[in-house]
């Protein structure tokens, strides 16, 4: 059986050829997530709001947390928290589906013409729906609470793109390994939780003790959370040098994941 060439070139060639198929599958994935619920897509708004409300109550009332240079009010804290939760939710949602991604789509594996190398990207794309709604809530809340609407928000797509690429790379590897090692599904939840608490979601990076700060900084979620807050809430320009490094690492990881996936997919049909 002949598979598409590994690496970025082979992946993007497949993506271009099957772009209409990808669009349809992404739309179907989004609609299926809210199908059958009374409120439908409004859960994409209510879920992050309810989650932020609970954590805001805890981290402003029970365990007070303050951001340097901010008002310290619960509304302002909720906006900062929503950004962190939204960035992490993209990671958490994609990771939770990754180990069983190929297994749950075994009918596609049997079809020679189906580009299963695109499944990881197709699974990550729907997470942007929740991210978009939360971003709109943060922008509206910033206007109401801080009376601010920053033009720097135009840099947000530049910030989120390498993050999505890095997540897609991890999903590709986990999806391929998940076919052979079913225990991968058990390892993902604690890892996702660990990444959440090692990211500045509930606290400012400046408050992290020196002995732990390097570990938090090396967390790939930390940079994206911080940069998103800069351009959306603080009105500051992103760290372009840091972004260039993040892009470079993401491209390398994505290229490596394509290579790994193409080599592991050879045995998918036999194992499944």
Query: Is residue 154 exposed (0-12), middle (13-18) or buried (19+ Cβ within 10 Å)?
Result: exposed
pLDDT of residue 174: 93
Q: Which residue has the higher pLDDT, 270 or 253?
A: 253
Q: pTM of the prediction?
A: 0.85
Kindly write down the DSSP assignment for every residue of 89-143, as one continuous string: HHHHHHHHHSTTTTGGGHHHHT-TTS-GGGHHHHHHTTHHHHHHHHHHHHHHHHH
Greatest mean pLDDT among 8-22, 53-67, 77-91: 77-91
Question: Any alpha helices (H) in the chain, and if so which ranges?
Answer: 7-17, 19-34, 43-57, 74-97, 106-109, 119-124, 127-145, 156-180, 184-197, 210-218, 220-229, 240-264, 268-271
pLDDT of residue 2: 47
Q: Which residue has the higher pLDDT, 263 or 46?
A: 263
pLDDT of residue 219: 94
| pLDDT per position as a tens digit, 119-175 | 888 888 888 888 888 888 888 888 888 888 899 999 999 999 999 999 999 999 999
Map tokens 């994941």 to a residue: 257
Average pLDDT, the chain: 83
In angstroms, the CA 218 to CA 245 distance is 13
In angstroms, the CA 80 to CA 134 distance is 11
Q: Is residue 177's pLDDT more than 50?
A: yes
Report phi then psi at 72, rounded to 5.
85, 0
| pLDDT per position as a tens digit, 74-83 | 677 888 888 9
pLDDT of residue 36: 58
Share of the chain above pLDDT 70, in %: 83
Structure token pair of residue 230: 């800069």
């Amino acid at each position: 059986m002949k598979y598409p060439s590994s690496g970025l070139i082979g992946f993007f060639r497949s993506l271009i050829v099957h772009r209409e198929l990808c669009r349809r599958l992404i739309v179907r994935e989004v609609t299926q997530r809210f199908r059958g619920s009374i409120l439908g897509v409004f859960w994409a708004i209510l879920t992050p709001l309810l989650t932020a409300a609970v954590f805001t109550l805890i981290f402003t009332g029970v365990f007070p947390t303050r951001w340097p240079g901010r008002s310290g009010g619960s509304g302002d804290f909720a906006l900062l928290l929503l950004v962190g939760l939204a960035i992490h939710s993209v990671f958490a949602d994609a990771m939770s589906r990754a180990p069983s991604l190929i297994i749950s789509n075994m009918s596609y594996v049997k079809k020679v013409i189906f580009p299963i190398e695109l499944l990881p990207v197709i699974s990550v794309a729907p997470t942007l729906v929740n991210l978009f709604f939360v971003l709109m809530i943060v922008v509206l809340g910033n206007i109401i609470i801080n009376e601010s609407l920053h033009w720097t928000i135009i840099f947000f797509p530049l910030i989120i793109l390498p993050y999505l690429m890095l997540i897609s790379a991890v999903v590709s590897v986990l999806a391929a390994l998940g076919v052979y090692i079913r225990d991968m599904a058990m390892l993902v939840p604690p890892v996702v939780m660990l990444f959440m608490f090692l990211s500045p979601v509930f606290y400012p990076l400046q408050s992290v003790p020196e002995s732990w700060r390097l570990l938090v900084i090396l967390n790939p979620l930390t940079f994206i959370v911080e940069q998103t807050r800069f351009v959306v809430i603080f009105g500051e320009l992103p760290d372009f040098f840091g972004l260039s490094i993040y892009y470079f690492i993401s491209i390398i990881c994505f290229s490596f994941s394509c290579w790994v996936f193409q080599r592991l997919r050879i045995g998918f049909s036999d194992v499944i």
